[in-house]
Amino acid sequence: METNKSKGKLKNVKMRQVEGYKGLFYIIGKTRSTGEPEKIYYIRYRKDGKEIKEKAGRQFQDNMTPAKAHNIRSRRMQGLEPTRAEKREAKEINSDRWTIKRLWEEYKNNKTKYKGLQRDQSRFNVHIMPEFGEKEPKNIVTLDIDRFRNNLLKKKKLSPQTVKNTLELLRRVINYGSKKDLIPSYNIRFEMPSTDNMVNEVLSNDQIKSLLSVLDRNPFDIEAWLLKVMLYTGRRTGEICELEWSDIDLERQTFTLKDTKTGKTEYLPFSERVMEILKTIPRFHQKYIFPNTDGSKRTRVDAHSRELRNQAGIPETFRPSYCLRHTFASIAASNDIPERVLKALLGHTHREARKDITSRYAHVSHERLLQAVNQIADIIDRIAYSKENIIQLNDRQ
C-alpha cells in the first residue's frame, strides 16, 4: 500500500510490528534511487508522560536494522539522544545564533573578491572551528584568545606568523559581524605574537643560472614557462597565472593585468626577452596562457614548481612564488633602477599613492618602465647564459 503524508503523519499505511522488539514497527516503502522495496523503521515510546512516534531510518539508505532501531529507541527513552522534535527545536534556536562559524560563512559569501579564501578556509577549519566555531562572540573573552594563541604556539608549535594570521582571521570575522550590525561590539583584545618576516629568498647568480637551465630543458612544461615569465617580470603569482592571450599587446609590449592585488587594472610593459618567451611558448589553451591541466584558470603555482626548484638545487625554504619576485626586485635595486620605477614594476604604486601625494600624480612613463624591464632582463641573461647563448636569444628576437 502506498505511503501518503499529511502534516508529517502517515495515513493509510500498513504498519507491521517487528517480531521480538517492543515498540518497533516498519512499513514497506521504495528506495529513492531505484524504486525497489525497502523497510522503513519507526519507533514508539513514552517520554515525560508523552507518547512519541517517530521515524528511525530506512533499510538501505540509512543502513537501518531492527537492532539499530531498538538501540535508538532505548537511547531516546533514557534521554541519551534527543528526539527528532528536540533536534528540530534546537536547530531553530541555533538558526538565530550568530556563532563564529555562521559569521565566517556570512563573511566569505559577501566578499566579491577573496584571493586568500583557500588559505583562510584552511586556517578556519583546522584551527578556529574546533575551538570557537560553535561559540558566539559574546561568550569569548580575552583570556580565551590568550589561551588559544599559546596553544597554537606551544602545543601545536606553529610559526608566529601562522598564529598571527589565524588570530587576525578570527578578529576580522568578529569585526565583520559588528560592522554589519549582526552582533554587538565586544571588547575582545588580540595580542599578536611578534614575528620576523625578513626572510632572504633572493636567488644567487649560480641559482639563477641553474634554475633557467632546468626550465629551458622542459619546453613542453607549463610550469617551466610560468616560472620564466615570473622571473623576468617580478609580478605576483596570481597576476601572471591568470593571464589570457587577449591580455597581451605585442606591439606596445604590454600586459593587461586585470586581477591585481590592488583591485585595479594595470598595464605592465614587458621586456624583449619576455616577448621572445611569449612567441615561443606552446598554446596550451585557447584562452589562458598558463591553464591548469584540466583547462581551467590557474590561480597559483602547484607542487610541480617545487620539483623544478629542487632539480635546480635551490633550498626547499625558497618558495617559488616569492623567490622569483624577490630576485627580480633585488637585481633591479642593485643596478640603479630608481625606487619609483621599481615600485611601478612590482605593482606597489597604488599602495604608495594613498600615502604620498607625489606618487599619486607623478606617474612613471611607459618608455621608462620599458627601458627598466629590458635592463633587468639583460642582467638576468648575462648571469644565466654564455655570450653565445645571448647572441642566439637576441637573434631570435
- How many domains does the chain fold into? 3
- Report the number of secondary-structure helices (H) and strands (E) in the chain: 18, 9
Query: Does 187 fall in a domain?
Result: no
Question: Whole-angstrom Cα distance, residue 277 to residue 224?
Answer: 11
Query: Does 232 fall in a domain?
Result: yes
Q: Which of 69, 94, 119 is the last residue of a domain?
A: 94
Residues 381 and 359 in one domain: yes
Residues 266 and 364 in one domain: yes
Question: Cα dist. 73→43, 61, 68, 131, 252 in Å?
Answer: 6, 19, 9, 32, 76
Which residues constitute the domain of residue 109? Answer: 100-179
DSSP string over 50-107: EEEEEEEEETTTS---HHHHHHHHHHHHTTSS--HHHHHHHHHHHTT---HHHHHHHH
Neighbours of 168 (CB within 10 A): 14
Residues 241 and 274 in one domain: yes
Query: Does 188 fall in a domain?
Result: no
Residues 294 and 376 in one domain: yes
Residues 353 and 247 in one domain: yes
| Strand partners for 30 | 37
Residues 124 and 216 in one domain: no
pLDDT attached to residue 5: 43
pLDDT attached to residue 362: 52
Residues 89 and 110 in one domain: no
Residues 328 and 209 in one domain: yes
Residues 84 and 21 in one domain: yes
pLDDT attached to residue 91: 66
| Closest listed residue to residue 200, CA positions, set 328, 366, 326, 26 | 326
Residues 86 and 117 in one domain: no
The grid coordinates of residue 298 equal 590557474
Residues 294 and 333 in one domain: yes
pLDDT attached to residue 162: 93
Residue 77: which CATH number? 3.30.160
Query: Does 193 fall in a domain?
Result: no
Collect the ranges in the chain with pLDDT lower than 70: 1-13, 90-95, 196-199, 349-362, 387-397
The grid coordinates of residue 43 equal 519507533
Spatial CB neighbours of 392, under 8 Å, sequence gap ≥ 6: none
Residues 297 and 244 in one domain: yes
Residue 282: which CATH number? 1.10.443.10
